[in-house]
Amino acid sequence: MSHDIGRNAIEIEALRKTYAGRAGQPPKEALKGVDLCIPQGSIFGLLGPNGAGKSTMINILAGLVIKTSGRVKIWGFDQDVNPRQSRAAIGVMPQELNLDPFFTPRGALEVQAGLYGVPKRDRRTDEILELIGLSDKADAYARTLSGGMRRRLLLGKALVHNPQILVLDEPTAGVDIELRQMLWTNVRKLNEERGMTIILTTHYLEEAQEMCDEIAIINHGALIKRDTTKNLLGLMDAKTLVIEPEGGAPEVFDLPDGVKMERRRDGALVFDYSRGQCSANAIFDAVKAAGIIIGDVRTMEPDLEDVFVELTSGK
Ligand SMILES: Nc1ncnc2c1ncn2[C@@H]1O[C@H](COP(=O)(O)OP(=O)(O)OP(=O)(O)O)[C@@H](O)[C@H]1O
Ligand SMILES: [Mg+2]
């Protein structure tokens, strides 16, 4: 998945954005000096709670929002020095639906290609319609498309100039499961077959966990964590073991230090512990010593959601 190891698709330095306060509101510091490099060829997740500043950052990359200060390089081109080249290297699917209701999907893709100066012979309109699953709606007015179809058309528009970097701001919000899977399959294909660098935001953390090589978490306009998905998951050393006893369990019995036990209504025993402090074996021993017969056992691993909550809960 990593083409051209060591080179960055995006380099962001000391990026700040303060929105002017409107109607008597104080100014809003949406980005408070963010440094972030995103390697070429990666699938990179930008995560954070509502209002963290994700869309602000993405819209600055897209040239839709003017930064207050800082430096942004896209595919090696400084946004302020080489605006045309930096713009050509990136395609952005925005969070907000901003489609002209009187364009058909085919029309919208053609106009977008024109805006990016893609010559007619190099346009891939039909291929893109196919990719976003809108071939049969190619000539329907955008206003007659469903919400999910409109989002997919936004993805298509981001692809017309065949950018090296594709940025997706909540591409699957309000999209049904089947289409979501189709979208992710296609995004993966763009990454694997064309080496396209993918940057995405999503509030579905299981998607991020499954899709992303690396993840940055931002909160209140600041970067609070950036690591590989694997390392982030490794941060959590909480474990859960669920034992279903055969024929009941005594009210109280001895447990190793640091283990918390809860009894579920169906009789299952739920043990919470940290890997550093205790082992599953010690729990089995305690359970057997109490005369409990183990009917079934399950373990639960922490997921990205747990990591996210831990890092953003303000602790
Ligand atoms: N045009 C604007 N004018 C004033 N404030 C804005 C503007 N756009 C965003 N903000 C504020 O900047 C902060 C960051 O917003 P942003 O849209 O970047 O967050 P986000 O991380 O994308 O959130 P979400 O997950 O809800 O999409 C928020 O407090 C938001 O209210
Ligand atoms: Mg947003």
Which ligand 1 atom is nearest residue 49's CA? Answer: 25
Using CB atoms within 10 Å of the CB of residue 50, give its burial: 0 to 12 exposed, 13 to 18 middle, 19+ buried: exposed
The CA 243 to ligand 2 mean position distance, Å, reads 41
pLDDT for residue 174: 78
The CA 53 to ligand 2 mean position distance, Å, reads 7
With a pLDDT cut of 70, the percent of the chain lying above it is 97
CA 260 from chain centre, in angstroms, equals 33
What 3-state class would DSSP assign to 138? coil
3-state secondary structure 175-216: CCHHHHHHHHHHHHHHHHHHCCEEEEECCCHHHHHHHCCEEE
- 19 CB less than 6 Å from ligand 1? yes
Most ligand 1 atoms within 8 A of CB, residue of 15, 19, 203 to mutate: 19
Taking a 5 Å cut-off on Cβ, the residues next to ion ligand 2 are 54-55, 95
- Cα atoms in the 13 Å half-sphere on the side-chain side of 266: 6
Neighbouring residues of 259: CB distance < 8 A, sequence distance ≥ 6 = 271, 272, 273, 278, 282, 283, 286
Domains and CATH numbers, the chain: 8-233 (3.40.50.300), 237-312 (3.30.70)
pLDDT for residue 6: 57
pLDDT for residue 2: 41
pLDDT for residue 315: 54
The string over 181-209, giving b where at least 16 C-beta atoms fall within 10 Å of a residue's C-beta and e elsewhere, is ebbbebbeebbeeeebbbbbbbeebebbb
The CA 220 to ligand 2 mean position distance, Å, reads 13
- The stretches in the chain having pLDDT less than 70 are 1-6, 314-315
Nearest ligand (C-alpha, residue 94): 2
Q: What is the pTM for the complete model shown?
A: 0.85
SS3 content of the chain, % helix, strand, coil (to 5): 35, 30, 40
Which ligand 1 atom is nearest residue 21's CA? Answer: 4
pLDDT for residue 294: 93
Task: Identify which of 52, 41, 16 has the alpha carbon closest to the alpha carbon of residue 218.
Answer: 52
The CA 46 to ligand 2 mean position distance, Å, reads 10
**Structure-token pair, residue 223:** 């970067």
The CA 121 to ligand 2 mean position distance, Å, reads 35
> Could you read off the pLDDT of 165-188 as tens digits, one per residue?
999 999 888 788 888 898 899 999
Closest protein CA for atom 17 of ligand 1? 55
Closest protein CA for atom 19 of ligand 1? 51
- When computed from its CA atoms, the radius of gyration of the chain, rounded to whole angstroms, is 24
Which ligand 1 atom is nearest residue 54's CA? Answer: 21
The CA 221 to ligand 1 mean position distance, Å, reads 10
Closest protein CA for atom 30 of ligand 1? 51
> Could you read off the pLDDT of 252-294 as tens digits, one per residue?
889 999 899 999 999 999 999 988 888 889 999 999 999 999 9
Nearest ligand (C-alpha, residue 57): 1
- 54 CB less than 6 Å from ligand 1? yes
